[in-house]
């Protein structure tokens, strides 16, 4: 998967949702996550989303 495809998947999954949770990996094998992250953050901010870290104070989410 390319960084561009990673971003496209992010955008399509986020569409029409009020919030999203994105789990990203930071290993050498997952370097595409690092390449895709700036575009994902830019898109999210341009569409009114806030970027925050998950903490123990966040509500649990069931999928």
Domain count of the chain? Answer: 1
Alpha carbon distance 4, 17 (integer Å): 21
Q: What is the DSSP letter of 16?
A: T
pLDDT per residue over 42-60, tens digit each? 999 999 998 888 788 877 7
Verdict on whether the full-model pTM lies above 0.75: no
Write phi, then psi, for 9 (nearest 5 degrees).
-65, -45
With respect to residue 61, please indicate whether it lies within any of the assigned structural domains. Answer: no
Alpha carbon distance 37, 19 (integer Å): 17
Range of the domain at 19: 3-46
Which helix or strand (DSSP H or E) is residue 12 part of? helix 3-14
CB atoms within 10 A of CB 34: 14
pLDDT per residue over 21-42, tens digit each? 887 776 777 788 888 999 999 9
With respect to residue 17, please indicate whether it lies within any of the assigned structural domains. Answer: yes
With respect to residue 55, please indicate whether it lies within any of the assigned structural domains. Answer: no
With respect to residue 42, please indicate whether it lies within any of the assigned structural domains. Answer: yes
pLDDT per residue over 2-23, tens digit each? 889 989 998 998 888 888 888 7
């Amino acid at each position: 998967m390319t960084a561009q495809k990673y971003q496209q998947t992010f955008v399509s999954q986020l569409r029409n949702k009020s919030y999203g949770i994105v789990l990203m990996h930071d290993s050498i094998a997952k370097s595409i996550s690092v390449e895709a992250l700036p575009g994902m953050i830019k898109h999210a901010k341009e569409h009114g989303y806030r970027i925050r870290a998950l903490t123990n104070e966040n509500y649990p989410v069931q999928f």
